[in-house]
Structure 1
Amino acid sequence: MTTQSLFTQTRAQGRGTEDPSRRARADHPLWFLLPALAVLAVFFFTPTIYNFVYAFTDWSSFKSAINPVGFSNFVDLLSNGSLLADLRITVTYAVLVAIFQNLFGLALALILERDTHLNRFARVAFFVPVVMSALAVGYIFQAMLKPEGALNAILSGLTGQQVSIAWLGSTTWTILVVALIHSWKWMGLSMLIYLAGLKTINEDLIEAARLDGASWWNTFRNIRFPLLAPAITFNVATALLGSMNGFDIVQATTGGGPGGSTELLNIFIFRTFGQGLFAQATTMSLVLFLMVTLLAFPVIRILRKREEVL
């Protein structure tokens, strides 16, 4: 037997006696997660940790050194009336978006439930804003809602009179307008979730209710709506979390105005960062994180309990 053949036979025997558990560990799927976990650690976990650290310092563009200051940033912010006002505006905006987005999405799902060619086209049309840039949507509506914009021009043509309403100029109602714009952009996603929930309902239940003489409204209220509980939980959760972290649509449409009536906390943070007050802005972002944790997650927990009851 030659030396080459002996070497080949020895390698083959070595592979045959390899520990199976060791081979399984080498081929474990978790190894494929390492690149994604590395990206997550660098671009998410590390900035989050530094966010907690810098909130307790005096970091700013006006100082060359960063020194710890304890809870003084939190004390200063809590005594700042602007922060409390922006927190109230953010919560109001989030509640309005959650209501409108789910109402629009559920209504569209019920209207477009039947699987026809026209309904399929309409579903795609209503989903298009979801994949559009939020800034683009904001700037489009900002141009349309000007006193000399397209909406007033349409109303002028329909009424035969000159209409010049400042749709984004009211300190009372502008928050409602921007919440409607936000809801319009994302209602297509809520629509798809509700459509998926409606498709999972057993048609035998609906048919039995109809045979018993139940109207469409009674069937929806007593059977279909309770069975949509998982879809409601998902849509309310995404609407609340997304709107509490809202920035782009409001920044593009009003920039926080008029008179700060639509200044969300993220806009306040953005402006504070632009002023070079990095520690204060970091503290505000931490306050926003705590607000989302204390307000949004209890609502989600209540909705999950409702699912368990049903």
Structure 2
Amino acid sequence: MHTVKDRTTRPQARAKPRGHGAPRLRKDTLNRRDHPLWFIAPAFAILLVFFFLPTLFNFIYAFTDWSSFKSEINPVGFDNFNDLASSGTLLRALRITVVYAVLVAIFQNLFGFLLAVLLERDTTVNRVARVFFLIPVLMSALAVGYIFQALLKPEGGLNQILSRLLPFDVHCAWLGDPTWTIVVVSIIHAWKWMGLSMLIYLAGLKTVPEDIVEAARIDGASRRRMFWSVRFPLLAPAITFNVATALLGSMNGFDVVQATTAGGPARTTEILNIFIYRTFGQGLFAQATTMGLVLFLVVALMAFPVITVLRRREEIL
């Protein structure tokens, strides 16, 4: 009888702490779920103050006559948009911006893709080379612009190097040609960010399934055929990311162009952000805000079609 009583009472004694401990575990779980909201609250506050509120005021001040020459701010409707459209300066700046963005996207992806293919093997030399190509990404864009401005002057370092290598002296104004300066500046911009594109393409190449590559090898595909027919189509997500970020990032470019040419020569590299910077410096705040709103809308209108087309390409491939 004593053994039976002990056996019946022991499970009850053990079950009692479990009943008391269950609500405590549930409470701890709820607290852990609530903590991340408090952690991300400062980030949301910074985003609200420095992004959402300026964007909201950008939509408001574009329809006013805000300037440094008036003490009052009055609504003017679409007058700012009509003035900018009739002058032709805004359309020219938009055209230069689009050309600049397309060139940057082409060069940046081309350089990044070639580097990823050349440095794909995990050797010591390739690892060191990857680090060196990532250094420009970490540098300030203004610093990169000023360095290249010094190198590309007629009496700069590039012409001096070419004069020593060639049998004649070189005095080329690399940043003084109205036709080709936009190409040179876009190459500088692409050089700064090609390390990031290289990383994305390297990640895409590393994630290609080995069984697919092995099956193509067994079927007798050459290395070139296997790369372009098997591995390259599987890089579609990496291409989507790199093209979208390069295109949309260069649409908002300012630092490199301002440091190298400041919009010259003859305003042939005056992208829209430089035009906004100059207009705002003249005290025409409403006109500058209107240009910023136009740039925001153009970037949004370009982003959705580009991403949609690239996403469809991924699904097809």
User: What are the Cα deviations for residues 178-231 of structure 1, in whole angstroms up to 9, with x where unaligned?
Assistant: 000000000000000000000000122223222323222211211111100110
- Quickly say closer, same or farther: Cα 1:26–1:218, change in 2 above 3 A: closer
1:230 paired to 2:204: no
| Aligned residue number for residue 184 of structure 2 | 177
Query: How much does 1:20 deviate?
Result: 5.5
| Aligned residue number for residue 81 of structure 1 | 88
| Aligned residue number for residue 127 of structure 1 | 134
User: Matches of 2:24 and 2:237 in 1, distance apart?
Assistant: 48
1:152 paired to 2:159: yes
| Aligned residue number for residue 3 of structure 1 | none
| Aligned residue number for residue 174 of structure 2 | 167
User: Matched residue pairs, number?
Assistant: 297
* 2:289 corresponds to which of 270, 282, 285: 282
1:24 paired to 2:30: yes
Structure 2 gap ranges (5+): 1-20
| Aligned residue number for residue 219 of structure 1 | 226
* 1:92 corresponds to which of 99, 108, 132: 99
Higher deviation after alignment, 275-284 or 211-220: 211-220
Large movers: runs of 4+ above 3 Å = 15-23
User: What are the Cα deviations for residues 216-268 of structure 1, in whole angstroms up to 9, with x where unaligned?
Assistant: 22112111111001100010011011100000000000000000110000000
CA RMSD after TM alignment: 2.0
Query: How much does 1:309 deviate?
Result: 2.2
* 1:309 corresponds to which of 290, 293, 316: 316
User: Matches of 1:78 and 1:25 in 2, distance apart?
Assistant: 56
- Quickly say closer, same or farther: Cα 1:16–1:204, change in 2 above 3 A: closer
- Quickly say closer, same or farther: Cα 1:192–1:26, change in 2 above 3 A: closer
Residue type of the partner of 1:129?
A: P
User: What are the Cα deviations for residues 247-302 of structure 1, in whole angstroms up to 9, with x where unaligned?
Assistant: 00000000000001100000000000000000000000000011111123211111
SS at match of 1:151: helix
| Aligned residue number for residue 9 of structure 1 | none
* 1:34 corresponds to which of 31, 37, 41: 41
User: Matches of 2:129 and 2:77 in 1, distance apart?
Assistant: 55
Query: How much does 1:132 deviate?
Result: 0.2
TM-score, L = length of structure 1: 0.92
SS at match of 2:68: coil
| Aligned residue number for residue 111 of structure 2 | 104
1:203 paired to 2:210: yes
User: Matches of 1:16 and 1:228 in 2, distance apart?
Assistant: 50
User: Matches of 1:80 and 1:287 in 2, distance apart?
Assistant: 15
Structure 1 gap ranges (5+): 1-14
| Aligned residue number for residue 3 of structure 2 | none
SS at match of 2:233: helix
* 1:72 corresponds to which of 76, 79, 98: 79
1:269 paired to 2:246: no
User: Matches of 1:205 and 1:17 in 2, distance apart?
Assistant: 51
Q: How does 1:33-72 map to 2 (within 5 A)?
A: 33-72=40-79
| Aligned residue number for residue 198 of structure 2 | 191
SS at match of 2:270: coil
Residue type of the partner of 2:142?
A: L
User: Matches of 1:56 and 1:145 in 2, distance apart?
Assistant: 42
- Quickly say closer, same or farther: Cα 1:170–1:19, change in 2 above 3 A: same
